Each structure stands twice: as C-alpha cells, then as structure tokens.
Amino acid sequence: MQQPVQQKTEATRSVVIESESDIVTARKAVRDVAEALGFGITDVTRIVTAASELARNVFIYAGSGIMQWRRLSTNGAVGIELKFEDNGPGITNIEQAMEGGYSTSGGLGLGLPGAKRLVDEMEINSQIGKGTIVTIRKWLKR
C-alpha cells in the first residue's frame, strides 16, 4: 500500500508587479527566500533568473499582475513555488510560446522556455482575454 503524500506549505507571500522596479523587488524577494531555504548559489541564480523572466512577462504582456511565493515541504523534500498571475490578454498558443525564439513582443523569445529549463516543474494556465497563471517549482537537492 502506497504511503499518502504529506505536503506542508507555508503562508503565501506576494509582490505586486506594476512597474520595472517591481521586477527588481520580486527578484530580491525570491533571492532572499531561496537563500533562506538553503539553495546553493547556482540554484538561487536559476530561481531568480526564472522569476525575473516571468515577472517581466507579466509587466510587458499584461501591464500588471502579482507574483506569489511559498515554501513547499513534501515527504521531507523542501522547495519553493512561485506563481505569476495576470489579467492580460492570455497566451493564444502555449505550445508555440514554449518554443525557443518565438516572441510576440519582438524579444528573443527566451522567457517561458528559458524559465522552464531553470526549474524542476512548470505549469501554464491561460485563457484568452482573461489572463495567465504560470507556476514554477524548484526542489532543494540534498
């Protein structure tokens, strides 16, 4: 018989993203929590880079949104979860948006696929005209 998965989460905290300076605030918040959880410098850099890309997407494509984060603990494994939510136009074709080099803003098209490569888990939920939620998770390797 399989043991039930025990998952414990801490309270969710957030940063509102409405300006470029809020992207810097989000980066600092993520860096602080990742370091406090015990992630090494390489993983902290990966998490902060992914957060920066996703926060920038919120600002560029939706104008505003929110980044929420929380500590995860599942069967002894510790991690961080970041959720980026906006009420923007939504992503028309998620599969296409996940291809490197695809961009609707004239950028390099590295945001979503780049962020995915930097973390362990990524989920995207988007509705045209209603917005997008991108959730990423990175687990601490012991």
**What is the per-residue pLDDT across 111-125, written as a single tens digit (0 to 9) for each?**
788 899 999 999 999
Residues 142, 73: Cα–Cα separation, whole Å: 13
Report the CATH number that the domain containing residue 135 is assigned in CATH.
3.30.565.10
Asked if the structure places residue 2 within a domain, the reply is no
**Highest mean pLDDT: which range of 71-80, 86-95, 128-137:** 128-137
Mean pLDDT of 130-137: 97
Q: Which domain holds residue 11?
A: 7-139
Residues 8, 16: Cα–Cα separation, whole Å: 25
Residue 2 — very low, low, confident or very high, per pLDDT cuts 50/70/90?
very low
Which two structure tokens, joined as six digits, stand for 47? 């998490």
For 45, list phi and psi in degrees, rounded to 5: -60, -40
Taking the model in full, what pTM does it have? Answer: 0.85
Asked if the structure places residue 1 within a domain, the reply is no
- With a cut of 80, say whether residue 140 has pLDDT above it: yes
Domain count, the chain: 1
Asked if the structure places residue 36 within a domain, the reply is yes
Residues 66, 34: Cα–Cα separation, whole Å: 18
What confidence score (pLDDT) does residue 10 get?
A: 57
E strand segments, 87-130: 121-127
What confidence score (pLDDT) does residue 12 get?
A: 73
What confidence score (pLDDT) does residue 71 get?
A: 93
- With a cut of 70, say whether residue 109 has pLDDT above it: no
